């Protein structure tokens, strides 16, 4: 009944999100799982980035300037083009940067291939989100080829048993369940649509819920349905405490160090 500790985008509170330094830090802290996001480049490379379009709050071009909004779609760029961008520092003065005052920049850091990350560690689990939306079909691969590309990469690395694929776009999860039943799936819900019954009705066994929406009642409902509950993104000490106390199945945090400290205090680690 241990609570699974997941480092959000590695450890976004501490180091640039979805980069190898952040993943290495999360592993050093002792997370069970690296939470991360993937897209697919024009030439079919699985890369780790949260946004369907390159994020102007963290990507700098070869000229050293943060890119203009909207950034180019990941899927519109070849991998070599993508590697020209530096994602090691949040745009100074941005609202986004103000949200992560403890994030240490690592200038020169590039968007990693998923393959590189898989090679880094033989113990840690992966919770990989497919960044795709029915509202922006032109910005990514379609659900089937997207899911298949990810499945292939997971299988090639031999990490299926340590991998969960999560998505707000449940179409990709259906593909995974049908074509790669050895890989677990997790159903992300938005703040206005957080109902474990819907997850269960869709065949889901893991519900990845915004923590603000989780009540004792919803947690109980999920348990009665046999649905596990992972919560995101839990950063403040009082919230971390509340989630641990509820006995959720997993906690996704930008500050996995804080969660681990609190787990130790409660005797749950």
> Is 241 one of the binding residues for a copy of itself (CB under 8 A)?
yes
- Cα 120 to the center of its chain, rounded Å: 17
Q: Are β-strands 33-40 and 206-210 bridged in parallel, bridged antiparallel, or unpaired?
A: unpaired
In sequence order, the β-bridge partners of residue 184 are 164
Nearer to a copy of itself by Cβ, of 205 and 269: the residue is 269
Question: Token pair for residue 145?
Answer: 């080829």
Among 1, 68, 93, 192, binds a copy of itself (CB under 8 A): 1
Nearer to a copy of itself by Cβ, of 81 and 220: the residue is 220
Is 220:241 a contact under the CB 8 Å cutoff?
A: no
> Is 2 one of the binding residues for a copy of itself (CB under 8 A)?
yes
How many helices (H) and strands (E) would you count in the chain? 10, 9
> Is 206 one of the binding residues for a copy of itself (CB under 8 A)?
no
> Is 242 one of the binding residues for a copy of itself (CB under 8 A)?
yes
Is 251:224 a contact under the CB 8 Å cutoff?
A: no
CB burial readout 236-249, b (16+ within 10 A) else e:
eeebbeebbebebb
> Is 264 one of the binding residues for a copy of itself (CB under 8 A)?
yes
Among 244, 253, 255, 256, binds a copy of itself (CB under 8 A): 244
> Is 266 one of the binding residues for a copy of itself (CB under 8 A)?
yes
> Is 20 one of the binding residues for a copy of itself (CB under 8 A)?
no
Q: Stretches 65-73, 161-169, 197-205, 236-244: which one binds a copy of itself (CB under 8 A)?
A: 236-244
Nearer to a copy of itself by Cβ, of 71 and 196: the residue is 196
Nearer to a copy of itself by Cβ, of 37 and 249: the residue is 249
> Is 265 one of the binding residues for a copy of itself (CB under 8 A)?
yes
**Helix residue spans in the chain (DSSP H):** 20-29, 79-82, 95-99, 114-120, 143-157, 170-179, 196-201, 216-224, 237-246, 256-266
Shortest CB 219 distance to a copy of itself, Å: 9
Q: Stretches 72-80, 167-175, 176-184, 240-248: which one binds a copy of itself (CB under 8 A)?
A: 240-248
Shortest CB 250 distance to a copy of itself, Å: 11
Among 104, 190, 193, 215, binds a copy of itself (CB under 8 A): 215
Among 40, 87, 183, 243, binds a copy of itself (CB under 8 A): 243
Cα→Cα distances 71→52, 98, 103, 148, Å: 9, 20, 22, 26
Q: Stretches 63-71, 106-114, 128-136, 257-265: which one binds a copy of itself (CB under 8 A)?
A: 257-265
Is 171:165 a contact under the CB 8 Å cutoff?
A: no
Is 57:103 a contact under the CB 8 Å cutoff?
A: no
Q: SS3 of 264, please?
A: helix
Nearer to a copy of itself by Cβ, of 50 and 269: the residue is 269
* Binding residues vs a copy of itself (CB under 8 A): 1-3, 215-216, 237-238, 240-247, 262, 264-269
């Amino acid at each position: 009944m241990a609570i699974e500790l997941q480092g959000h985008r590695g450890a976004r509170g501490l180091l640039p999100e979805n980069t190898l330094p952040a993943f290495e830090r999360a592993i050093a802290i002792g997370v069970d799982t690296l939470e991360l996001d993937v897209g697919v480049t024009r030439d079919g490379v699985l890369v780790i980035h949260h946004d369907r379009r390159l994020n102007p709050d963290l990507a700098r071009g070869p000229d050293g300037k943060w890119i203009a909004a909207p950034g180019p779609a990941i899927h519109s760029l070849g991998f070599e083009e993508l590697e020209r961008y530096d994602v090691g520092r949040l745009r100074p003065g941005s609202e986004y940067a103000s949200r992560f005052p403890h994030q240490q920049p690592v200038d020169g850091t590039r968007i990693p291939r998923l393959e590189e990350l898989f090679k880094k560690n033989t113990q840690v689990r992966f919770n990989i989100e497919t960044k795709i939306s029915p509202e922006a079909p032109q910005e990514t691969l379609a659900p089937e080829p997207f899911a298949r590309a990810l499945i292939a990469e997971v299988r090639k690395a031999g990490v299926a048993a340590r991998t969960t694929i999560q998505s707000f776009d449940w179409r990709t999860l259906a593909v995974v369940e049908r074509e790669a039943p050895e890989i677990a799936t997790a159903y992300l819900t938005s703040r206005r649509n957080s109902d474990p019954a819907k997850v269960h009705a869709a065949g889901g066994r893991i519900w990845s819920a915004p923590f603000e929406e989780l009540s004792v009642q919803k947690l109980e409902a999920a348990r009665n349905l046999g649905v596990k509950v992972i919560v995101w993104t839990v950063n403040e000490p009082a919230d971390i405490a509340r989630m641990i106390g509820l006995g959720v199945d997993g906690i996704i945090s930008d500050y996995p160090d804080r969660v681990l400290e609190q787990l130790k205090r409660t005797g749950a680690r």
